[in-house]
Structure 1
Amino acid sequence: MNQLVSKKPEHETIYLRVKEMILFGEVVPGQPVTIHGLADSIGTGVTPAREAIRRLTAEGALVTRQNRRIEVPAMTAHRLEQIELVRLTVEPSLAEAAADQCKLIDIKELERIDALVDKAINDGDIHGYLEANYRFHFHLYGLANAHILRRIAETLWLRIGPSLRVVCGRYGTTNLLDQHRAATQALKDGDARKTRDAITEDIRQGMEFVRQTTT
């Protein structure tokens, strides 16, 4: 398991593992998720798997249909519009606040993670790209010391992550764009506004890719 999953109580560890599966596209929109199937796939008991599904359903990452089927919801234009509106409000604000707290060691870590993003794009590694992209953003957002806003951002990423997987599956990784270098350069320059602008444009580019796969 990777950095999201550390030494925690079993139920928390399993929740984080399932969260990663959704964030990084291991569970695609419309794919059914069962308690027993999930427990078997990650090697855990029924109780922690049930608790993980309950928490992720409450966060909107999973939905329960009328036939009690549990799945990752497919993206719609209406849902996408709402997610984009809130992302463009919350995440640039986190980035701007982070710029005021950012140190050289943080910039170096962001550059290290961005190198992993570039490698994944060059290698066509979809899972690697989704994970490194997430790490970049949330390392930056974590510097803002704004826990409520960061939690909102995490919930939004849970809702958009599977759709980003669909984008990568359809178009591959070679055409993916980001503004990570612009953001890190702005951080080096101590320019909080440009950091905000870079993340704003990064979000818009990503959401436009999702829009192309949304009905």
Structure 2
Amino acid sequence: MDLSKLVTPLTRQTLSGDVYKQLSDLLMSGRVMPGEQLSLRTIAEGLGVSVMPVREAVHRLLSEKALVLLPNRVLRVPRMTVSQFREITDIRLNLEGLAIERAAALVDERGLQEIQGAHEGFSREILAKKPSESALIALNKELHFAIYRQARMPMLLEMIESLWLRIGPILNYDFRSGSTRVKEHVSATHHQKILNALKKRDAQAARKALAGDLQGAADFIVSAGVLLADDVAAEAPERAAPARGAVKSPAPKRPRATA
């Protein structure tokens, strides 16, 4: 994977925080896949920084379980089991439902314009003859967080971001797979219902429309068979190695990307 095409080279002094922000956005936006291997060196080259701030950002992501460091020192985007995915979906329905209810009560005209703009961008892309999966993924995230920011609850927003870090790599599988949900513009329909409810300041309708969007996507992902079966995961668990000390840079000439 060529990270230089997905991220913006960094120039500011707060490099560790900037690296963390860009890596978080890659995960939350679903632009890296479950099971995909990463290396400190590749990330550093893509961002145009040294390995040290990357190492610091990676340790933070390891502690948040957004990345795993396997016993063989391979740094990888974690895979998710069916039960883990369902549990996170249930939590999201509650947290994001609370956020959209509060947003419906507090959103102002400027906020509605931002949400409207994100919705229109997403709708244009999904209605295109050949929609760009990367654009759909990015615009979907932009729309959801434009809504959640209107709740004006920073701690709740942090919790939602933490869940998206864990679920982001698999969350937009239907956009990547060119599913019937994309061809039938299902997400755009849900988004329009959400926007209509927000304009009316109807918190319950907004929450119901959001739940339809989240649950519909989740049901498709489970049915697609792209998650780990719980019994298989129990037999061969993907265990993370303890993140002690500095994560080592990949040794040269090794065939695998190592952390």
Deviation per residue, 1:158-178 (Å, 9 max, x gap): 122111344333235434522
1:86 lines up with 2:91 in the alignment: yes
Change (3 A) 1:194 1:165: closer
As a proportion of its length, which structure holds more helix?
1
C-alpha contact (below 8 Å) 1:28/1:166 kept by paired residues: no
2:148 maps to amino acid: Y
User: 1:54-133 counterparts in 2 under 5 A?
Assistant: 54-123=59-128, 124-133=131-140
| Cα distance in 1, alignment partners of residues 77 and 163 from structure 2 | 13
Give the one of 35, 40, 47 matched to 1:42: 47
**Contact in 2 for aligned 1:6/1:13 (Cα 8 Å):** no
Q: Could you say what secondary structure the match of 1:168 adopts?
A: helix
Residue 183 of structure 1 is matched in structure 2 by: 194
- Contact 2:28 2:161 survives alignment (8 Å): no
Rounded Cα–Cα distance in structure 2 between residues aligned with 1:34 and 1:171:
29
TM-score normalized by the length of structure 2: 0.76
When normalised by structure 1's length, the TM-score is 0.90
1:192 to 2:197 alignment = no
Partner of 1:13: 18
Worse-matched range after superposition: 164-173 or 126-135: 164-173
Aligned equivalent of 2:157: 150
Distance 1:56 1:174 in 2: 34
Q: How many Å apart are 1:90 and its aligned residue?
A: 0.5
**Is 2:215 the counterpart of 1:210?**
no
Question: Amino acid of the residue matched to residue 186 of structure 2?
Answer: L
Identity, in percent, stands at: 27
Amino acid at match of 1:204: Q
For the pair 1:139 / 2:125, whether they are aligned, the reply is: no
Structure possessing the higher relative contact order (Cα contacts under 8 Å, 6 or more residues apart)? 2
Q: For residues 54-100 of structure 1, what are the alpha-carbon distances to aligned partners after superposition, in whole Å with 9 as ceiling and x for unaligned?
A: 11112221111121211111121021011111101100011001111
Q: Give the SS at the match of 2:186.
A: coil
Cα distance between partner residues in 2 of 1:165 and 1:34:
23
Would the alpha carbon gap of residues 94 and 170 (structure 1) be closer, same or farther in structure 2, given more than 3 Å must change?
Answer: same
Checking the alignment, whether the CA contact within 8 Å between 1:28 and 1:165 is kept in structure 2 is no
Q: Distance in 2 between matches of 1:151 and 1:136?
A: 16
Cα separation, 1, equivalents of 2:208 and 2:86? 20
AA partner of residue 174 (structure 1):
K
119-128 or 11-20: bigger deviation? 119-128
Give me the CA root mean square deviation: 2.2
- Evaluate the alpha carbon distance shift between residue 166 and residue 193 of structure 1 in structure 2; reply closer, same or farther with a 3 A threshold: closer
SS at match of 1:60: coil
Shift of residue 105, structure 1, vs aligned partner: 2.1
Paired residue secondary structure (1:149):
helix
